[in-house]
Chain A
Amino acid sequence: MALLEVKDLHTSFFTDAGEVKAVNGVTFQLDRGKVLGIVGESGSGKSVTAYSIMQILAGAGKIVSGSIVLDGMELVGADEKVMKHVRGNKVSIIFQDPMTSLNPTYTIGKQLMEAIMLHTKRNRKEAWDRAVEMLKLVNVNEPEKRMKQYPHEFSGGMRQRVMIAMALACEPDILIADEPTTALDVTIQAGILELMKDIQKQIGMAIIMITHDLGVVAQLCDEVIVMYAGGICEQGTADEIFYNPRHEYTKGLMRSIPTTSNAGRKLEPISGTPIDLLNMPEGCPFAPRCDQAMNICIHRKAEKKVINSEHYAACWMNEKPN
């Protein structure tokens, strides 16, 4: 049985302008110890998918339908007590900006220890030791001294590592990382990605890595979900997605990024502008921007089609006899 099974998830924001269908029928599985990447353009529903799993949606947001089963337990409709337990002990999340998640008025040590005591059965002394151990694990030098310092005394990269330490302190089964390195420099980012990979191997947790950066995905992920307009347009192993993309949006994405081999040549951008979730087209949501769009694309949504045992895509091009 998979560790996490998300089935036909629909999450909407009920705003004055209408229902924003941010997540629109998302289905995927995550196995223990695997790293799953979620990519897709800004506004495609990556964060809302993650927040739905944690049930930390902003006020107007609601899971409309679908199911989220963690370790055999249904989370949709579960009461807040269950979710508190899930959030502390089973699934942790790290956000893009560590400053919003750290309290500037408490020392790093106090914040780490509180998280540890809240979620594991440890006393103060044990929590202190555990916190120091976690700081060491994330390569913060002189951890005993660092415990007594405040967040502003840390650099951006160090704060992000503290956030990782805090997320890992309660030994979650799943770590959700929502753009954890976007604000960091490449050399610092490289260190943090390496670190996440190491820890993931050591303690065998699963990671959901949300990112814009296909380089980060290539480096870290076993499997990849590509999102467009609140839905999954393609899903597969990293190698399948990079070397054998089968949805026109994914293909466009790959053509539009500078790589080591297309230097000096023209990039091929995806034309048009991102979709308006309040006015979703009836057919394939990518059809208005797709060079290959056929008549059927405009009128009917493509079903998820099996490309091979490691790869699915929802694109009419795959139905075309060639």
Chain B
Amino acid sequence: MSDKSEMNNTAAQSGEEPIIRVSHLKEYFPINTGFIRTKPLKAVDDISFSIREGETLGLVGESGCGKTTAGRTILHLYKPTEGDVFYRGKPIRTKQDITEFRKHATMVFQDPYSSLDPRMTVADIIGEPLDIHHMYGSKQERRDKILELMDRVGLNSEHAARYAHEFSGGQRQRVGIARALAVDPDFVVCDEPVSALDVSIQAQVINMFDELQDQMHLTYLFIAHDLLVVRHISDRIAVMYLGRMVELADADEIYDRPLHPYTKALMSAVPVPDPKVARANQRVQLKGEIPSPLNAPSGCPFHTRCPYAADVCRESMPAFEEVEKGRFVACHRVKEVN
């Protein structure tokens, strides 16, 4: 991406400083390919975008496209291979920056079954971040804080001494959320927080994310593969494909009028829970399989499956550019295909 488009990216998001700005972020994993030889797996490859204070940015894309890695790298749970993350305009670079950043930025994990230590009580799971950051003056204060958090996420305070495995999936996810909120963050990366839950429980947890956002003035990066859930909760949505960001726009806009050929296919593939709409839906069928990120295609990463691919697509990487106000797309042929 050119520096000019990055300036636009930030400028377009109103005058004020975004809470998170990601600039040319890369995360490459070295993969052994033989005797002492390694090859980089480009899990996240040069993504740049900003998140405004108070908004929910949805992040979607198919399995393996780099969503989780992007979330973890932004939080510096992985050290970025290249690029920067700015929190309220300040780059996160030193160890000290990271420690400070973690008091403001936390993560809710996908799997409520495996992400909680079965030998810890609920109170200790929620209290652990408080211990790490020395965030209380007395045992009583710690206890009060834990009970307040449990109350916030709708857990019965009488259950504080129970173990996580005694809870249902929905309750476990609440424990995970209470833990993420313990340090009183203002930015939370939510990685598939409702995917493992039954639909009726899913709705309870989605509503809770909404309410907590209002009460605690939270900003979310909300990762999920269920596009209807993401659309429901997000203000804007970013779409990734093979480690790259291909489109970023307002949630309704991207859903109703996708511009990138991959987004078009993705949106048309969503099974809509309405028989009449489903019958009328014209699907964009994609040919072929998603390429391995170890052998990403030359040029546009989507050209092997794109119905509109031309020579230029095979030769050069399209820039992630603002094609309409507040709307970013990485496609050489965005004008022709729309």
Contacts and interface: CB of A to CB of B under 8 A. Distances in A.
Interface in A172-229: 185-191, 193-194, 212-219
Q: Which of B201, B252, B271 lies at the interface centre, i.e. has the most chain A CB atoms within 10 A of its CB?
A: B271
A286 B274 CA distance: 24
B274 A190 contact: no
Nearest to A39: B199
A252 B204 CA distance: 12
Contacts of A239: 275-276
Nearest to B65: A185
B203 A268 contact: yes
A280 B90 CA distance: 58
Nearest to B63: A185
Contacts of A262: 232
A257 B199 contact: yes
A258 interface: yes
A103 interface: no
A135 B275 CA distance: 30
Contact of A212 (B199, B206, B278): B199
Nearest to A181: B271
B166 to A, nearest CB: 13
B274 A186 contact: no
Given A186-B225, A212-B199, A218 B289 contact: no
Nearest to B229: A258
A185 B225 contact: yes
A186 B60 CA distance: 11
Nearest to A193: B271
Nearest to A217: B273
Q: Which of A41, A188, A253, A257 lies at the interface centre, i.e. has the most chain B CB atoms within 10 A of its CB?
A: A257
Interface in B46-95: 62-63
Interface string A225-240: 0000000000000110
Interface string B224-252: 01011101100000000000000000011
B273 A269 contact: no
Nearest to A254: B273
Given A190-B283, A214-B273, A263 B232 contact: yes
A169 to B, nearest CB: 23
A256 B198 CA distance: 11
Interface stretch (B16-24, B37-45, B100-108, B262-270): B262-270
A189 B290 CA distance: 13
Q: Which of A156, A271, A274 lies at the interface centre, i.e. has the most chain B CB atoms within 10 A of its CB?
A: A274
Nearest to B256: A260
B57 to A, nearest CB: 15
Contacts of A217: 273
Contacts of B229: 258
A190 B275 CA distance: 15
B157 interface: no
B5 interface: no
Interface in B190-210: 198-204, 206-207, 210
A155 interface: yes
B285 interface: yes
Nearest to B270: A186
A190 B284 CA distance: 9
Contacts of A269: 200-204, 207
Contacts of B265: 187
Given A219-B271, A252-B200, A256-B203, A187 B286 contact: yes
Interface residues of A, number: 46
Given A258-B228, A259-B274, A270 B269 contact: no
A212 B271 contact: no
A238 to B, nearest CB: 5
A296 interface: no
B289 A157 contact: yes
A42 B198 contact: yes
Given A242-B274, A242-B275, A266-B210, A189 B269 contact: yes
Contact of B199 (A41, A157, A266, A273): A41
Given A155-B289, A186-B62, A191-B285, A256 B273 contact: no
Given A157-B289, A194-B283, A242-B273, A263 B252 contact: yes
Contacts of B200: 41, 252-253, 256, 269-270, 274
B32 interface: no
Nearest to B276: A239
A190 B231 contact: no
Nearest to B211: A266
Given A259-B228, A273-B168, A41 B198 contact: yes
A9 interface: no
A319 B211 CA distance: 37
Contacts of B268: 190
A260 B276 CA distance: 13
B272 interface: yes
Contacts of A273: 168, 170
A2 to B, nearest CB: 23
A188 B283 CA distance: 12
A216 B199 contact: no
A20 interface: no
Nearest to A186: B269
Contact of B271 (A156, A189, A258): A189
A267 interface: yes
12 contacts: A155-B289, A186-B269, A187-B62, A190-B268, A190-B269, A213-B273, A214-B273, A215-B273, A218-B272, A219-B278, A260-B274, A270-B200
Given A41-B200, A215-B272, A267-B206, 11 more contacts: A158-B289, A187-B286, A188-B62, A212-B199, A214-B273, A215-B273, A216-B271, A219-B271, A239-B275, A256-B203, A260-B277
Interface of A: 41-42, 155-158, 185-191, 193-194, 212-219, 238-239, 242-243, 252-254, 256-260, 262-264, 266-271, 273-274
Nearest 4 pairs between A and B by C-beta?
A215-B271, A269-B203, A258-B232, A190-B269
